[in-house]
Structure 1
Amino acid sequence: MKSNEIEISRYDRENEESLQEAACWEDVHVDVLKMIKEGSRISSYTGKVAGELMGIATSWKNYFHPYCHYIAMKLSHDCDPSVANALLGQLESVLSSDIPMQTSIWESNLRLKLIYEQNGFYEMRKTFMPTLPLRNHRIGCNTTVPNGYILLTLQEVSEDICLKEKLIKLVKHTYEETHLANPVASLSLSRWEGLVFQNDLIKEGSYVLIKEGEPMVYSFLHHGEERIDTCELGWCGAVNHEHMEHLRLIVSLQLLFSKEYGFTFLQAEADTTDPFAMHILASFPFEHGAALLTFQKQCLDHGKQTSFDVK
């Protein structure tokens, strides 16, 4: 395939109907067709060869993580890599060079993984999303709260204004420290409170370990997004790594709670950049499933770039 056969075009609403054929293309984790229509979209392009749609790519803003350009690309099954290279080059040519591009794909998508790596992207983290069947799982950990500590539910913490504020500050600090490669926005404590106390949060199954009036360890539990018999571990953390071992105690209590309330499965999400979540993953017999790979690339100086003519 010659490069001059590739036609890169800006997406507009008139192209919407022609994009429907892309719905059956390979799964890339992000709903690219939906993101193209979002108000947070920066730019989107289609790649065609001899008038036939071969690929689409889009970029958008994430207001919680504003210090990178989020991008995604979806390719037809017979798309030549040169079309993908052209789409990525076009995105890079229009995005500001002061912050990196970032994308996530399924680990099993070897074709996209190779394309991103050949275009200068590097893997910044892996995200595991395992499941733990609860029906036959036996709690093998001592669930006795250690001397000097008090165990509270998030419901109880929420009723103490001072303690709730301390917990929110700890959650904020932990999240920021585990997302240094893609920093979080500067948000008020009231915004962080909303992030902690989400609508799907199970307050009675979310626990905080307190010592001398200070929150030391926490782990949150949520209703599952897709199945009513599934609950999900949410944010977790500790005031320092010395207290990390107490996460095993708290999650064991969450397993007991989940079984008692009739849940069949417990899902988790653990980034390799998050030592607390990875500790939980290593402490329980989760059944490992699909994993996500997240890649970043620093945009080049626009003066040094070349791109295809865009129609």
Structure 2
Amino acid sequence: MHAIVVADPGDSSALVPTEVPDPEPGPGEVLVDVAASGVNFIDVYHREGRYPLPTPFVPGSEGAGTVAALGPGVADIAVGDRVGWQGVLGGYAQKAVIPADRAIPLPEGIDPEQAAAVLLQGLTAHYLATSTYAVQPGDDVLVHAAAGGVGLLLTQIVKLRGGRVIATVSTAEKEKLARDAGADEVIRYEGFAEAVRALTGGQGVHVVYDGVGAATFDDSLASLRPRGVLALYGAASGPVPPFDPQRLNSGGSLYLTRPTLAHYAATREELLARTGDVLGWVASGELKVHIGGRYPLADAKRAHDDLQGRRTTGKLLLIP
């Protein structure tokens, strides 16, 4: 089968199209014919070696397709079922082996491309807005990179929960996307802390959802009201350097958390509860999924370059 293999971590040239043997499902696993694979910053971190993995490996931690074979002991999934997954390595390929307890049944009305475009980022947006800081009606919320994959979904979920969204974007095109997703206010990154203060009567926001990292961290803290929460869920601009926790005190007894999806979908029950909400909203039209680009599997390098170069909006997919 065709797959993308990383033998030596590094820049996007480490993503090498390769012919590899078809995988076989083991006990408690299913083999899936991949219809689409999501492209995410976690894939970049794996490729770069920032999150080290044994090499060689097939990257890609999100996808969807049709079950082609069952391993021993799988009883609640059948060949021909449509499933999606996230958090399982090996999606940049024509076939992938998935633990059966991480396979997510796709409801009617959800096609595999939608699922591959929404699962990882939709679940991230879901846990951020419902658990890390549970948005309440009337809350002021700052969403960074609001025209990105997580940002567009997070903006919509915050609005579903009654929050007011202040969105940061870098271009006029991205501003339109953020406004179409429901953002109440859209600002640029330069001087955003001052803009946030002006838009909140000097109070600051209840929560900042920050997937940008180093470039926004200081002003994100400065955008919070007393006892506000900075949910630092990513580092697209690089990791945040060490800092003095006393800054949280002087800023107004602030909270800082560095959450990750694995800890918010640790059990199958929680995984299915969150995916039930997200896929239900997509099926009903309450949550719109924006696919910003579809690339042939062999063009994984170009997809990574476009993602890191901030030349994209919404979600990028690889199509085997």
Give me the TM-score of the superposition, normalised by structure 2.
0.26
Q: Higher relative contact order at CA 8 Å, sep ≥6: structure 1 or structure 2?
A: 1
Give me the TM-score of the superposition, normalised by structure 1.
0.27
Whichever of the two has the greater Rg, that structure is 1
